[in-house]
Amino acid sequence: MSKYLKLTVAALALAAASPAAAEKLGLGRAATEAEVAAWDIDIHPDGSGLPAGSGDVWTGEEVFAEKCGVCHGDFAEGVGNWPKLAGGAGTLDHKDPLKTVGSYWPYLSTTWDYVNRSMPFGAAQTLSPDEVYAIVAYILFSNDLVDDDFVLSKETFMDVEMPNAGGFIIDDRRTSEAHFVREPCMSDCKDSVAITKTVVFKGDPNSPDDPDAAPATTEAAEVEEAAVEAEAVVQEAALDPELVKDGEKVFKKCKACHQVGEGAKNKTGPVLNGVFGAPLGHIEGFKYSKTMAEMGESGVVWDEANMAAFLTKPKEFVKKTKMSFAGLKKDSEIAAVVEYLKSFSN
């Protein structure tokens, strides 16, 4: 039997099993309330439909690592082509926006319902309500939407404010823009076509008179540039270039969450430019764990010893840190990353 015929037979069987068909044809029976309830598992934006249960962030971290990390990464940063679930704040107006639970999804019910209904991949609907609550709590925490002591439940569900809650509107273009609708012209739409303007690109060697071309470098600018280069040489001389090179390789383990260098932005973790000599939790606009923020306020700074201790065992150095990475195992890797980060001190 072909698959199309099988589908047709299945559809007819379902139709025949409906209450009306059962009464008319004497086939099948009406579904019981318990059978309907087993399929009725959708959750609404106001939280209606949620089951009893609860889950905290740190339990969610453990469950997420076991059930979800293989595809979505331990920090919800995504693995390979599997989607990122955290990050992307403020990117929706970019050319290539990062759409995650934190940046794009307007309703928390969508997250809960999807995890409960379809995850984990290949084993859908095997999670208990407590596990779903915990996983969703951890995803919220990974997006800086809740604190590390947050517990998600029916009672706290509506306390969470999704950043893009106001980003969706009802599509009423069929009526509101009806006056714009007209039949498109498909042929002979214009008598003639002529070039009326040419565009000259900045820096075009064939256009020396380009008014937007950068002005010639002045003597003062040359002096300033030389001073900057001299400062860079002094800084580089104080570093071990081979160790910095090794640190760049090891830092690949950190790049899923942290950026350094020109144009660096906060991701799941903060920018690490200028970290040495700065107090813990110093980057403005990034939401640190309570412990790290308090340590910074008390005067603890990132020096070589503290950075090495943190890279070895983050959760021992900063209790309840938001960074879930277990730490680097080799002293050589730790020293290399420390030297690499020092190269971005200025």
Residue 9 pLDDT > 60: no
Burial 93-108, CB ≥16 within 10 A → b, else e: eeeeebebbbbbbebb
The secondary structure element, H or E, covering residue 29 is: none
Q: What is the C-alpha to C-alpha distance for residues 280 and 260, in angstroms, rounded to an integer?
A: 17
Confidence of residue 1 (pLDDT cuts 50, 70, 90): very low
Q: In the prediction, which pLDDT does 115 show?
A: 96
Would the pTM of this model clear 0.95, i.e. be above it? Answer: no
Residue 43 pLDDT > 50: yes
Arithmetic mean of pLDDT, 159-173: 90
76: number of Cβ within 10 Å: 28
Backbone angles phi, psi at 252, to 5 degrees: -60, -25
Residue 343 pLDDT > 60: yes
Domains 54-159 and 235-342 share a fold: yes
Q: In the prediction, which pLDDT does 150 show?
A: 96
Domain coordinates in residue numbering, the chain: 3-37, 54-159, 235-342
Arithmetic mean of pLDDT, 194-221: 59
Q: What is the C-alpha to C-alpha distance for residues 300 and 285, in angstroms, rounded to an integer?
A: 19
Q: In the prediction, which pLDDT does 17 show?
A: 53
CATH number assigned to the domain covering 235-342: 1.10.760.10
Q: In the prediction, which pLDDT does 18 show?
A: 56
Q: In the prediction, which pLDDT does 83 show?
A: 92
Arithmetic mean of pLDDT, 90-100: 93
How far does CA 182 lie from the centroid of its chain? 41
Q: In the prediction, which pLDDT does 307 show?
A: 86
Residue 196 pLDDT > 90: no
Residues 6 or more apart whose Cβ sits within 8 Å of residue 65: 74, 324
- Residue pLDDT, tens place only, 307-332: 888 888 888 888 878 776 777 888 88
How far does CA 181 lie from the centroid of its chain? 38
The secondary structure element, H or E, covering residue 148 is: none
Q: What is the C-alpha to C-alpha distance for residues 197 and 181, in angstroms, rounded to an integer?
A: 30
Q: Tell me the torsion sign for CA atoms 86, 87, 92, 97.
A: negative
Q: In the prediction, which pLDDT does 157 show?
A: 96
Q: What is the C-alpha to C-alpha distance for residues 245 and 157, in angstroms, rounded to an integer?
A: 47
Average pLDDT over all residues of the chain: 82
Arithmetic mean of pLDDT, 164-174: 87
Q: In the prediction, which pLDDT does 15 show?
A: 54
- Range with the poorest average pLDDT among 18-27, 47-56, 78-87: 18-27
Mapping DSSP to helix (H, G, I), strand (E, B) and coil, where does residue 19 land? helix
- Range with the poorest average pLDDT among 15-19, 137-141, 253-257: 15-19
Arithmetic mean of pLDDT, 278-305: 86
Q: In the prediction, which pLDDT does 109 show?
A: 95
Q: What is the C-alpha to C-alpha distance for residues 139 and 154, in angstroms, rounded to an integer?
A: 17
Give me the CATH topology for the region 54-159. Answer: Cytochrome Bc1 Complex; Chain D, domain 2 (1.10.760)
Residue 212 pLDDT > 70: no
- Residue pLDDT, tens place only, 223-242: 455 445 544 443 444 788 88
Helical ranges in the chain per DSSP H: 3-16, 19-25, 33-39, 57-67, 69-72, 108-118, 129-142, 173-176, 219-237, 241-250, 290-297, 304-312, 314-317, 331-342
